[in-house]
Amino acid sequence: MTHLFAAPSVSTVVVWQPPTPDHDQHDPIALTLNHQRCRVISAEYKPDVLKAVLEQVPDLLLIYLQASGDEGYGLCKILRKLPRTSAVPIVFIGARDEGSELVQALRCGGNEYLKLPVTVEECWLRLERHLHTAKLVRKLEADKDNLHQQVWAFNRMLRQHEQMQVSLAEENQVLQRLAFVDGLTQIANRRYFNQQLPQLWQQAGSSGQPLSLLLCDIDYFKRYNDTYGHPAGDVCLQSVAEALVRGAHRQSDQVARYGGEEFAILLPATDTKGAQKVALAVQSEIERAQIPHQGSLVKPYVSLSIGICTLVPDSAQQPYEVLVHGADEALYTAKLRGRDRAVVNAPEGLVSIIQDHCECGELSPLTRNMPTKLVVNHTAQSDNLIYLDDAAIQGEEDQIGEHPGFEALRPSQMASVSPLRLSADKIPNQVS
């Protein structure tokens, strides 16, 4: 393989030419390529031609049939099947008068048949068209490669952006968990409760469904810390939180640490009866936990006082704080009546719910003749309650009858009693 010349030109031409010593001096094609400063690579044999084409795909391939014979047609067919060389312009050069060479050249995939002799001007006009086409093809291929690189770079940036979005979403979840989850008990914290309550209140007002709230307080928790120490108190809070989650186990139930030893349970679309059932389930779970509490004045195990309030918002202007106030009022009443019980702030009044054996019942105590009693003063004109210890409240009716002007009423009798409310100013300050 011999290099005729290599000029600094854009166009590269591979020539399969005959081994004639004075070929380049008299051939108009060689003179034309030289004049146009093309980079010409010449070869005399088929393997050399094929190697030159594959090493650097040229802008044009010239095949002298005088040098190649029928092998030139075979090489053209091979190059047309290869993806890299399928678009290379191929021009056959012959000197015969008959048209068989022209037909054969075009049939095997050639772009043109150039018959000798030919003038320099005609030669360049014919070859320039193919070189121009080759340049356009190369430009399109370069633009295509550049576009592919841009698309790849864009997809890479898009994947990085998506990964960053996923990472940010995960970090946001972590931050939300840190913001709305109590670090000690791993349940929702007060901030989450304050966020959810207005939303649930608004949903309840829109749907006309009741919203129930349970406020729970560990009985004599300060005594627990004094007896067992604060680390044990933390473990106690964790155990109580787990019991609350087991008791309020519906998907819509929301258990939160309200503050210190107080917990809150939000029950969307839950009426009074359902709220009482959850309260009894929570009491049962606390009873089953059997957390020792030697400092308690109620029982040797940890117990809960629960305040229950259920409301259906009657207007958009009604503040949700009335629900909290109602549950808080019931909680204070439960503590005043001896703790270890639940009190419902019902339309009939503040009704105590006490289960003799803390097992989760199927029905609310208001629908059953439980031995729990509410002590009401019939003789006084104002709404008065008598606050008795556990023995008095859970005792027989004749025991409570010793107090003149008072009688013990079962929940089923509450419909005949005027509604009672315990206002905040009637709660003694010493209750804790």
- Three-state SS for the chain is CEEEECCCCCCEEEEECCCCCCHHHHCHHHHHHHHCCCEEEEECCHHHHHHHHHHCCCCEEEEEHHHHCCHHHHHHHHHHHCCCCCCCCEEEEECCCCCHHHHHHHHCCCCEEEECCCCHHHHHHHHHHHHHHHHHHHHHHHHHHHHHHHHHHHHHHHHHHHHHHHHHHHHHHHHHHHHHECCCCCCECHHHHHHHHHHHHHHHHHHCCCEEEEEEEECCHHHHHHHHCHHHHHHHHHHHHHHHHHHCCCCCCEEEEEECCEEEEEEECCCHHHHHHHHHHHHHHHHHHCCECCCCCCCCECCEEEEEEEECCCCCCCCCHHHHHHHHHHHHHHHHCCCCCEEEEECCEEEEECCCCCCCCCCCHHHCCCCCCEEEECCCCCCCECCCCHHHHHCCHHHHCCCCCEEEECHHHHHHCCCCCCCHHHCCCCCC
Instruction: Classify strands 342-346 and 304-311 as parallel, antiparallel or unpaired.
Output: parallel
What's the pLDDT at 245? 96
Question: What is the CB neighbour count within 10 angstroms for residue 233?
Answer: 18
User: pTM of the prediction?
Assistant: 0.52
- 306, 240 in Cβ contact below 8 A? no
Look up residue 26 and give its amino acid: H
Euclidean distance between CA atoms 417 and 123, whole angstroms: 120
What's the pLDDT at 357? 42
What's the pLDDT at 399? 34
User: Whose CA is closest to 30, among 131, 137, 110, 123?
Assistant: 123
What's the pLDDT at 384? 34
Look up residue 34 and give its amino acid: N
The CATH classification number of 181-426 equals: 3.30.70.270
- 184, 259 in Cβ contact below 8 A? no
Euclidean distance between CA atoms 54 and 82, whole angstroms: 10
- 113, 72 in Cβ contact below 8 A? no
358 Cβ contact partners less than 8 Å away, ≥ 6 residues apart: 280, 283, 284, 286, 287, 288
Which regions in the chain score pLDDT beneath 70? 1-10, 20-26, 97-98, 316, 354-432
260 Cβ contact partners less than 8 Å away, ≥ 6 residues apart: 221
- pLDDT digits over 170-210, tens only? 888 888 778 899 999 999 999 999 999 999 999 999 999 99
CA atoms within 13 A on the CB side of 243: 26
Domain ranges for the chain: 2-142, 181-426
- 62, 42 in Cβ contact below 8 A? no
What's the pLDDT at 350? 92
Same fold, 2-142 and 181-426: no
Structurally, at CATH architecture level, domain 2-142 sits in 3-Layer(aba) Sandwich (3.40)
Euclidean distance between CA atoms 422 and 424, whole angstroms: 7
What's the pLDDT at 136? 85
Helix axes of 190-207 and 120-180: crossing angle, nearest 10 degrees: 100
- Residue 202, classified by CB atoms within 10 Å of its CB into exposed (0-12), middle (13-18) or buried (19+), is middle
